[in-house]
Chain A
Amino acid sequence: MNNIDKDPKIGVFLCHCGDNIADTVKIKELKKELSKNKELVVKDHLFMCSESGQNLILKTLTDENIDRVVVASCSPKHHWNIFKNCIQQKLNPHMWEMANIREQCSWVHSDKDKATKKALSLITGAINKVKHHEPIGTKEVHLNQDVLVIGAGIAGMHASLELADKNFHVYLVEKSPSIGGNMTKLGRTFPTDDCSMCTVSPIMNEVNSHPNIELMTLSEVADFSGRPGEYIATVSTKPRYVDPDKCTGCGLCTEKCPVSIPSDYELGLKETKAIHIPFDSCVPEIAVIDGDSCLKITKGKCGVCEKICPADAIEYNQKPKTRKLKMGAVIVATGYQQMDLSDTEYNYEHPDVITGLQLERMITPSGPTGGKIICPSNGQEPKVITFIQCAGSRDQRYREYCSNICCMYSVKNAKIARSKLPHAVINMCYIDLRAPGRRYEEYYRRFREADVKMIMGRPSEIMEDKNGKLYFDIFDKSTDKFLQIKPDLIVLATALEPSEGTKKMADLLHLQYGMDRFLSPLHVKIAPVDTTNEGIYIVGTAEAPKSIQACITDAASAASRTATLLKEDKSMIDLTTAEIDLEKCTKCGKCIEECNYSAITDNYEIIDIACRGCGKCTAVCPEGAIEIRHLTNNQLKAQIDGILSVDPDTIIAYVTETCGYNAADIAGTSRREYSTKVKIVKLPCVGRLSVDDMIYPFEKGAKRVMVVACPEGLCHYIDGDAAAKEKVQEAKKILDKKNIGSEKLRFVPIVSPDGIKFQKICQEEAAKIKEVSND
C-alpha cells in the first residue's frame, strides 16, 4: 500500500514444509539472496499450504502491488488447487508458477549448499517464466444439446434410448429401410439361448415410439463439419416410394410384384421382390421399393403394386431428400459385416459352404427355410454338418485379429443343430475354444454334452469330388489321426470386419482407426468409447467384434459421456489452448496436419473446445506463429535462461507432466538420491518440443539435455512421444555439426511409477559429465 513503485512486483513464497525442505535447502539464505532483487517480494512460511500460509499469501497480495506469483514448495500434484484457489481471489488463476523444491530437490539431495543452489536455479527459472505469463481467460461456448446417433443396430438403439430417457433429442440415422441391425438376423443368442428377435423387437418398438427419438431410415450421413458442441451433419435420405403414413404393412404388394431380386437380409438364401416389407417384425413395418429394379420406376411399366394397394400408399414420384442437422455430439454405431471369403482355400463358391450368419437365417423359425437346416444345393437336410472355426480370423493373410464371438456362437449353433437333427453327425474343427465371459464355460460344457465331435485342427483346403460332394483332409491333434471328412454342409465361422458404413464414417468424421479399419477409442482401457474427437463416441462392433452384452455396455457408457458433455447448453472452457498470430502465419498447414484432435480449421482458426493443449503444433510451426497460451516459446526459453543463469553446470530434463514428472516425484518420495545437476522442466507432452527447444539449453550453457517421454504407445496425446523422438534425431545431427556432440542429447521413455529408473538415468547423465571433465 505504501509502495510508491508503479511497476508491479512478483510475489515469491518459500515454504519450509516443516523441515522437509528446510533441513536441506537453506530457506533463509534463499530469501536473502532473492530479496536482493527489487522486482520481487519474498516471504517464507513453515507450512505455506496451511491456513496461515494461505493468509500470508493473501495479505501480501493485498498489501503489495503484485501481479504474479511463484510458490516454491512441494510437488504441484499435492496442493496445486489450494494455491490456485487462494491466488485467484486476487489474480487471474494463470498468473502464477510453482517450483518443486521438495520431491525434486530437498528429498533427493544431501549436500545442502548444492541443493540450495539448485533450489535457487529452479525458483529463478519459475520467476523468469512467470514474467511472460499472460492472464488466460475462459470462454463460453454454446452447446447444441441434440445428439446424432449413426446406425440403429443394438448399440445405436440402446444409446438412443438412454439419451432419450434423459430428455435429449436424438436423431437416429439408419441406412437400411428398417432398424435393428444384424441382431435381427440371428436365431438365438448366447449364453441364454433366447430368441434374438424377441430380445431386440421390444427395443425396436420403443425406439420407434419414443417422443425424443427422431428416426430416419434409408438415410446416411453424406457430409459432416463443425466443432464439438456444434456439429453439422448433412443427411441424405433415399426415397421409399411408399407413404409411411398410409402403408399398413399388409404385404399384398410383395405377393403380386413380378420382379425378384436378391435379398440382403436373407444373405443370398432367398430372394425377395422389388417391393417388399424388409422382414417380419421390422420397424417401421412399411414396404419399400428398390428403385433400381422396379419396372415402373426404371422403365415406366407394370405399376401393379399401386393398383392393388388397399391403402393407396405407393408413391413412385418420391425424390431423395437432404437435411442439415445440428447437434452437440455424435455416437457412431455403424457395426460390422462378415468378410467375403470368395477366392480363398475355403471354397465358399460351393452352395453348401455357408457362413455363420447364413446358418442363423436358417435356424430362425421365420427365416428363408422355415427354421430348417438344409443344404442349399438340394434343399435336403444334411446328415453331416461340419463347423470350421477361424475362417479368415487369426490369419496374417486375411484378418489378423480374433473375431471374439465365433467360438461361442458356433457352440450355440452346434447345440441347436443337434436338437434339430438328432441323428446328424456334427463336428467342429477348431484351434482354441474361447469362452471367456460369465456363464460361457458352463455353456461350453452343455455343448459338449450334445455329442458334437471336436477336431483340434484346421483343414488346408475344401475340396469337392467329381459329383460335387464336399470333402477335406484334416490332421486332428487330439487323436493324432489324419482324417478325411465328407460333410453335406460346411459352416464357416467367418471373420467379422468393419461394415462399409464404419469405414465411411471414419473418413467423414476424421476418426482414428486401426490397420484393420475398426475405429480406435481414445484409450483402449480407460476411455473405450471416447475418440480423439471431443464429442464423438464410438460404440458396438464398429469399434471391434464383440458380444451383444458388450454392445449394450458401450451404448450406456457413451450415453453417459454424451450427457456429461451436453448437460448444459453452454460450457465454460479454459483457454489453455492454442492461439495463432495470423500476421506471422504463412498458412503452410503443418499445424493442421500435426493436430490429432482436428482442432485447427482450414481457415487457421482454433476450435478451443477440441484443443487439448499438447503443443505439438507449436513444435512444427516454422514461423513460431502458433503457441499454446500456457507454455509459450518465450515462457519456455525464459525458464531455461533462469535455471542456467544461476547454474550452467546443469542437465536439463524435459519431462511430461504425466509419466516423467510422476517418476521424478516418486524418486523423491522414496528418497532416491541423484545429482543436483539435474533440473526438471515440466511440459504437457514432449511433443511440445521443437528441434530448437532441444538445442537451446546447450546454447545457454547446459551440459546435457534429456527428453523424458511416456512409453511408446502410451502417449497421452497419441503420438507426441514419436514426434519428439524424430526431432531428437534431427537435433542430434545439428549438435554434431555445431561440435557440441550428439551424444549429449538423450531420448528416454519412462513409465509413471519408475522412480528407480529416473534416479538411474540422472546418475548416468551426471557420470558422463564427470568423464568429460576428467580429460
Chain B
Amino acid sequence: MTDSVTDLFNMTKPEKEKYEDLVKELGVLGIEPPNICYQCSKCTSGCEAMKLLELEPHSIMASAKAGFIDEIMQSDLIWECIGCYKCKERCPQKMSPVELMYIIKNWSVSSGKQLPGDYPKILQGILSTGYIQNPLDVRDKKNNTWNRNSLGLPGLKRPIDQKKFTEAISKLATEGLGEI
C-alpha cells in the first residue's frame, strides 16, 4: 500500500495511515486485521441489511483491506448496518465487518459528519437524562392510556449526579479507540 496504486475511477490512492489506525483500533477490540478476509462473501449473503438496503459487508472489508477508507467514511451505506452480528458469527476467518463499520462510523462522526436519522435525538436524550427517551404514555387495545405511575411501577432510576454524568459522556464523545 504505497503511492504506487491509484484508483483510476476516483483518482484516489490508498490511505496507509488510516489503514494502520484501523488495524490498531480493531486490535483494541480483539479483532485481527482485515487482511485476513479472503472475500468469500458469506457475510453479504447473510446480511440482514443487504436484503433490503444493498449494504455489502464483504465489499466494505475489501475496500478497507485495500486502504480506501475515506470512501467508506463518506458512504451512507455503512449506516444501514443493523448490528445483527450474523457476519461476525458466521465468518470463517473470524473477521467482523459489523465492528469494522462501527469504528469507521465513529471516525466519520468525530470528523464532523452529521448524525443521521434519530441518532441526534437519542444522543441528546442520553446526555441530558441518562436514557434515550423519557417514560412514555402508552395506549392499550381499549385505547386507555397508561404510564409507570398508573401501572404501579417504581420511579425510573436515573444518574444521581446528572451534571457529572453529562460531563463524563460529553468528554468521551471527543475520544476514540486510537488513543488506547
Contacts and interface: CB of A to CB of B under 8 A. Distances in A.
B93 interface: yes
A105 B42 CA distance: 61
A581 to B, nearest CB: 51
B92 interface: yes
A345 B51 CA distance: 18
Contacts of A398: 92
Contacts of B92: 390, 394-398, 458
Contact of A460 (B42, B56, B94): B42
Interface stretch (A62-70, A474-482, A675-683): A474-482
Given A460-B86, A475-B58, A396 B94 contact: yes
Interface in B19-49: 38-47
Given A473-B46, A477-B41, A482-B51, 17 more contacts: A390-B40, A394-B38, A395-B92, A396-B92, A396-B93, A397-B94, A398-B92, A431-B38, A431-B39, A458-B40, A458-B41, A460-B42, A460-B46, A460-B86, A461-B46, A482-B44, A482-B50
A456 interface: yes
A589 interface: no
Q: Is the interface of A mostly helix, strand, loop or mixed?
A: loop
B45 A460 contact: yes
Contact of A457 (B40, B93, B94): B40
A730 to B, nearest CB: 31
B56 A475 contact: yes
Interface in A363-405: 390, 394-398
A251 interface: no
B45 A458 contact: yes
A461 to B, nearest CB: 6
Interface residues of A, number: 21
Contacts of A477: 39, 41, 58
Nearest to A461: B46
A474 B86 CA distance: 14
A53 interface: no
A390 B42 CA distance: 12
Candidate in A456, A460, A472, A476 with the most chain B CB atoms within 10 angstroms: A460
A457 B57 CA distance: 13
A593 B81 CA distance: 53
Contact of A459 (B39, B45, B93, B94): B45
Interface of B: 38-47, 50-51, 54, 56, 58, 86, 90, 92-94
B51 A473 contact: yes
Nearest to B56: A475
Contacts, number: 60
Given A345-B90, A396-B94, A475 B50 contact: yes
Contacts of B51: 473, 482
A482 B40 CA distance: 14
Nearest to B86: A460
Nearest to B51: A473
Candidate in B86, B90, B93 with the most chain A CB atoms within 10 angstroms: B90
B12 to A, nearest CB: 21
Contacts of A459: 42, 45-46
A345 B46 CA distance: 11
A457 B43 CA distance: 10
Contacts of B45: 457-460, 472-475
Given A475-B45, A475-B56, A477-B58, A460 B90 contact: yes
Interface string A436-458: 00000000000000000000111
Contacts of A431: 38-40
Contacts of B58: 475, 477
Nearest to A395: B92
A460 B41 CA distance: 9
B128 to A, nearest CB: 40
Interface in A565-591: none
A768 to B, nearest CB: 33
A322 B101 CA distance: 63
Please give me the 5 A-B residue pairs with the lowest Cβ-Cβ distance, nearest first.
A460-B46, A395-B92, A475-B44, A458-B42, A457-B41
A136 B127 CA distance: 83
5 contacts: A459-B46, A460-B90, A477-B41, A477-B58, A482-B54
Contacts of B46: 459-461, 473
A458 B94 CA distance: 15
A460 B88 CA distance: 11
B117 to A, nearest CB: 24
Contacts of B47: 460
A460 B42 CA distance: 5
A400 to B, nearest CB: 9
Contacts of B54: 482
Interface in A617-663: none
A307 to B, nearest CB: 56
